[in-house]
Chains A and B, each alone.
Chain A
Amino acid sequence: MIALRFSWRSLVRQPARATLGILGVAAVGALLFDMLMLSDGLIVSMRDLLDRTGFDVRITASGDLRRDGDRIREASSVVASISRVPGVDTVIGLRFVDAEADLPGGAAAAPEGTGGPDAAGPRRDTIDVVFQGVLGQTAPWTLVEGRDPGPAGEVVVSRSFADAMHVGVGARIAVRARCVSRDDVLPPARLRVSGIAEFPFELVGDNTVSGPMQVVDAACGGARADEADLILAKGTGETDLTATAIRDGHRALSVATNEQVLGRLQRNGFTYFRQISVVLSTVTLAFALLLITVLLTVSVNQRLGEIAALRALGFSRGRVVADVLCESMLIVGLGGLLSLPLGALLAQGLDGILKSMPGIPSQMSFFVLAPATVVIHAALLTATAVAASLYPMQIVARLPIAATLRNEVLS
């Protein structure tokens, strides 16, 4: 405790140097904190989104997680068949169709750049829409306003759609579905907005309109009816057993639990961010180690006479070594504490940049704070503080008292 107080006084005696050291550690620590949040952020965030949907098993035709993968044919009979599998509680089928919706005021009312990346340039009188059909009784959305759609001509829309179209509950919209190819020219389906909902997997830039499957089938004029991109199932018991039972009955389909989906993403989809996080964390720590070592070494070298005098006065070797260690811990500790709010602010900015990436669910975060992150951050900074003080501690421990004092007097 006395060593800590002594080190504090050493720091306070040179406020400019101490402040710069602490600020430097804070900046490096903030970057380290962000990289630790990034390393698992996507997985934690994705797990949260998957859990929020309330379904445990995802069934696709080809195992492709993208919406443009192969479709499941005769979806209604597959859904009915899966719902009869023991251990299955709820099953729904989802079909995603590209569509466009007419803006109420035409081109003049269109917000700049509506309609995704293709829309740069002149304003359009339509916006691109993801038209989602639901086969089953459970809704894959969280209602924010209004009520769930009825069986005929009613849909719920996402907040982004409502904002882009300037519509609310009860409004009427015209949606033209492109069910077979992007060149489809179908008559618009006149629909009524029964509610505004939150779609956990709505992608950045998407505008979602969703309703019962028969509404989508009607908008498609019957084209590719009874197809689904994805079937979601909720089990009553052990998820793995439920998935195995579904897989046994439907060999042609790809069946994955949420954990398996996460595992696949961890192996393939999100590895880039994990790798960059590891690389930047390592570089950051090496950078911090080098610079704190230099700061402490220069600081100790400037105070050799003072340290020798203290030893001559009776301070033990262990005590002066502890002073150096405490000084390192104080610089890194204070910098580390400051790095937490700085890191949180920086993470917000970086998350904003990364969330503009197409194909990412808008509710997903790249930087997620987990309790373990703070613990790992503290442990890494502590290890850095200790490692950085090793060399200056060695200088202090081996300091020849008489020779140093003599040199000090002569100089």
Chain B
Amino acid sequence: MTATRLAGLLALLVIVLAPVVVVLAPSPASAQTATATAATPADIPAVLVSRQAAAALDLSVGSVVQVAPPDGSRARDFRVAGIYEPTPDPSRLGNAIHAVRLHLPDVLALTNPPDAVRGAESVDAINIRLTPGADAAAFARDVNARLPGVAARPATDAGAAAGPFRVLERFHLAIAIVTIIASTVFLVALTVMLVDERRETVGVLRLIGLPTSRVLVQVLLEGLLVAATGSAFGLVLALASEGVINRFFQWRYDTALLFVQVTPSVAATCVMIAIPLGVSATVVASWLLLRRNALRLARR
């Protein structure tokens, strides 16, 4: 990427993002305190208040809040311009997000020491949206090379760096594997019993001349039908319970996070595991039975 292109992109992004960047919330570490006050002049600066904070402080659009740094000094009045739903954050699950979003100059005015040198203000992070089709990784590399002291990385990498969730993913996978093993054992036990129940029928079929392979094909098709029906029922059950589970946990944790999501790939994976497993269990159990003598099967 050339310097001109980089500068052009940056300029474009600053323009695109200006409305977003200027309402950056202070970092949680600054932990500003907000209290409601009675006056409602229209010319005081505006803030956005999170839904949880608005509920806790009994605020509505137009209310005036007093925002101050942790030490309580330099408190200023702000008008609530809106109430927003915080972006769901799994790492803050269980914590009510009491947050206030201020314009960046207002944050700096509240948090910068009075004797701070003008122009020495700092922000924790800058979010950049690239033009469609731009290579985020190449852009991040370019920024890192040109701006020493700045660490740029694509948003996709930042998501992947969420270590706890990768660990939880592995944990859920391990639980799923154990569940599949337990299900398989039960499935084989059930098919052995079901096949055993039909030993006389199978014996008679063999005695009237049907070859083993023909009986096995019939069992295979039957297993396929049962497994497909079971998988479809399982998917319907998962889809039906998805909403219930999400609503329960969203209520429990007061968040907009989605806890369960039956995506096409998840559904496909389940079907790809369930159907071969069901068919295999049926065929293996049947094969063990079909190896026996036809007369013994028919108990003659």
| Contact between B190 and A295, CB atoms less than 8 A apart | yes
From 251 to 278 in chain B, residues with beta carbon under 8 angstroms from any chain A beta carbon are 252-253
Q: How many whole Å from A79's CB to the nearest CB in chain B?
A: 21
Kindly supply a per-residue 1/0 record for chain B positions 16-57, scoring 1 wherever the CB is within 8 Å of any chain A CB and 0 otherwise: 000000000000010100000000000000000000000000
| Contact between B189 and A24, CB atoms less than 8 A apart | yes
Stretch at the interface among A14-22, A96-104, A142-150, A368-376: A14-22
| Contact between B31 and A27, CB atoms less than 8 A apart | no
From 133 to 163 in chain B, residues with beta carbon under 8 angstroms from any chain A beta carbon are 149, 161, 163
Residues from chain A with a CB closer than 8 A to the CB of B189 are 17, 20-21, 24, 291, 295
| Contact between A17 and B171, CB atoms less than 8 A apart | no
B175 within 8 A of partner (CB): yes
Cα A106 to Cα B178 with chains together (Å): 44
B193 within 8 A of partner (CB): yes
Residues from chain A with a CB closer than 8 A to the CB of B188 are 20
User: A70-B31, A291-B190, A353-B171 in contact; A31/B179 too (CB < 8 A)?
Assistant: yes
Stretch at the interface among A3-11, A220-228, A319-327, A355-363: A355-363
Cross-chain pair count, CB within 8 angstroms: 88
* Chain A, Cβ-Cβ closest to B122: A181
Cα A359 to Cα B91 with chains together (Å): 11
| Contact between A117 and B163, CB atoms less than 8 A apart | yes
| Contact between B178 and A30, CB atoms less than 8 A apart | yes
| Contact between B192 and A69, CB atoms less than 8 A apart | no
A12 within 8 A of partner (CB): no
Residues from chain B with a CB closer than 8 A to the CB of A349 are 174
Kindly supply a per-residue 1/0 record for chain B positions 91-120, scoring 1 wherever the CB is within 8 Å of any chain A CB and 0 otherwise: 001110000000000000000000000000
User: A70-B70, A268-B95, A349-B174 in contact; A275/B167 too (CB < 8 A)?
Assistant: no
| Contact between B167 and A354, CB atoms less than 8 A apart | yes
B197 within 8 A of partner (CB): yes
| Contact between A354 and B190, CB atoms less than 8 A apart | no
From 12 to 51 in chain A, residues with beta carbon under 8 angstroms from any chain B beta carbon are 16-17, 20-21, 23-24, 27-28, 30-31
B164 within 8 A of partner (CB): yes
* Chain B, Cβ-Cβ closest to A31: B178
Q: Which of A17, A68, A117, A356 contacts B193 (CB 8 A)?
A: A17
A383 within 8 A of partner (CB): no
| Contact between A298 and B194, CB atoms less than 8 A apart | yes
A299 within 8 A of partner (CB): yes
Cα A24 to Cα B70 with chains together (Å): 57
Q: Which of B167, B174, B185, B193 contacts A23 (CB 8 A)?
A: B185
* Chain B, Cβ-Cβ closest to A297: B193
| Contact between B192 and A302, CB atoms less than 8 A apart | no
| Contact between B197 and A68, CB atoms less than 8 A apart | no
Cα A70 to Cα B27 with chains together (Å): 12
Residues from chain B with a CB closer than 8 A to the CB of A20 are 185-186, 188-189, 192
Cα A280 to Cα B182 with chains together (Å): 13
A62 within 8 A of partner (CB): yes
B249 within 8 A of partner (CB): yes
A315 within 8 A of partner (CB): no
| Contact between A354 and B171, CB atoms less than 8 A apart | yes
| Contact between B190 and A62, CB atoms less than 8 A apart | no
Residues from chain B with a CB closer than 8 A to the CB of A17 are 189, 192-193, 196
Q: How many residues on A have C-beta within 8 angstroms of the other chain's C-beta atoms?
A: 40
| Contact between A298 and B193, CB atoms less than 8 A apart | yes
| Contact between B31 and A298, CB atoms less than 8 A apart | no
| Contact between A302 and B197, CB atoms less than 8 A apart | yes
From 106 to 133 in chain A, residues with beta carbon under 8 angstroms from any chain B beta carbon are 117
A105 within 8 A of partner (CB): no
From 218 to 250 in chain B, residues with beta carbon under 8 angstroms from any chain A beta carbon are 249
Cα A277 to Cα B168 with chains together (Å): 13
* Chain A, Cβ-Cβ closest to B91: A359
Q: Which of B192, B197, B253 contacts A16 (CB 8 A)?
A: B192
Q: Which of A27, A31, A62 contacts B185 (CB 8 A)?
A: A27
Q: Which of A31, A69, A271, A275 contacts B182 (CB 8 A)?
A: A31
| Contact between B179 and A298, CB atoms less than 8 A apart | no
B170 within 8 A of partner (CB): yes
User: A30-B178, A298-B193, A358-B164 in contact; A291/B171 too (CB < 8 A)?
Assistant: no
Q: How many whole Å from B286's CB to the nearest CB in chain A?
A: 14
| Contact between A24 and B93, CB atoms less than 8 A apart | no
Q: List residues of chain B with CB under 8 Å of any chain A CB.
A: 29, 31, 70, 93-95, 149, 161, 163-164, 167-168, 170-171, 174-175, 178-179, 181-183, 185-186, 188-190, 192-194, 196-197, 249, 252-253
**New contact pairs (19) apart from A27-B185, A357-B168, A358-B163, CB-CB < 8 Å:** A17-B189, A20-B186, A23-B185, A24-B185, A24-B189, A27-B181, A28-B182, A31-B179, A62-B70, A117-B163, A275-B252, A280-B175, A295-B186, A295-B189, A298-B190, A350-B175, A353-B167, A353-B170, A354-B167
- Chain A to chain B contacts (Cβ below 8 Å), 30 pairs: A20-B185, A20-B188, A21-B189, A24-B185, A24-B186, A30-B178, A31-B178, A31-B179, A70-B70, A117-B161, A117-B163, A268-B94, A268-B95, A269-B94, A271-B93, A271-B94, A271-B253, A275-B252, A287-B182, A291-B186, A294-B190, A295-B190, A298-B194, A302-B196, A302-B197, A346-B178, A349-B174, A353-B171, A357-B168, A358-B163
